[in-house]
Amino acid sequence: MFRHVPNIITGSRLVLAAAFFVLLSFYQYDASGRRGNPQLMIAAFVIYIAAVVSDWLDGYLARKWKVEGMFGRVVDPFADKILVLGSFIFFAGKNFIIPDTAFPLIQNQVKTITGVAPWMVVLLLARELLVTTLRGISESSGTNFGAVWAGKLKMGFQSATILVILIYLAFLPWLNRHGYEPPARYFRDFGVWGTVVITLYSGVTYVQKLAALFRQSNASEGSAA
């Protein structure tokens, strides 16, 4: 009976991701507050927390009950990437666009209130595509290409940054009223730029790992010959 519980929890994370994205799609920030309802971000925050907890719980239960299977190995990382990358795609989208007051002389100059720019999302996507390609090349040659610590750090930092952005958006009216918005924005930007740096670093780490594996493989073939 317990065998299917971790898989059910893993699959439920896709449902949570869909609900999370629906809330983000209904939110649209504007200064009047007519559409930028903070309640949507609070609900999105709760759903995202539930998704993060489910990510830990399904793995813990699968290991405890020794029921790891192909479904979990495939769907678990897929659900994680959908949730994280989808979040950053939404954060860089039109629902979070505001005028950029830093450039008053340039008409229609805008930025995102989340601090996430489209080029950052391209970088995140490029890293995931690169690692997937490298893993496919490595494993097709019979070489194991497991996760490195930088990849796990990247995933944790990205998830934490999403939570910081959600809190910033949910409590933005309160932050503005009490004068805490500037330090909160700096903290948000630290998370966003930290995500960019760690994503770049983890991508380079995977490239270095693949190069080391290929050198080792070539050396073994040379010694065997």
pLDDT at 73: 81
Six token digits for residue 80: 């994680």
pLDDT of residue 12: 93
- pLDDT, tens only, 67-110: 777 878 888 889 999 999 999 999 999 889 887 766 555 556 77
CA distances in angstroms from 165 to 92, 121, 187, 221, listed in the order given: 12, 15, 9, 50
Angle CA(180)–CA(35)–CA(177) in degrees, nearest 5? 20
* Residue-by-residue DSSP string for 95-148: GGEEE-TT-TTSTT-EEETTS--HHHHHHHHHHHHHHHHHHHHHHHTT------
CATH of domain 2-224: 1.20.120
Give per-residue pLDDT as tens, 116-130. Answer: 999 999 999 999 998
Domain map of the chain by residue range? 2-224
pLDDT of 205 reads 87
Those residues of the chain that have pLDDT short of 50 are: 33
Helix (H, G, I), strand (E, B) or coil at 72: helix
Q: What are phi and psi of 90, to 5 degrees?
A: -65, -45
- Asked if 38 and 171 count as a contact pair (C-beta separation under 8 A), the reply is yes
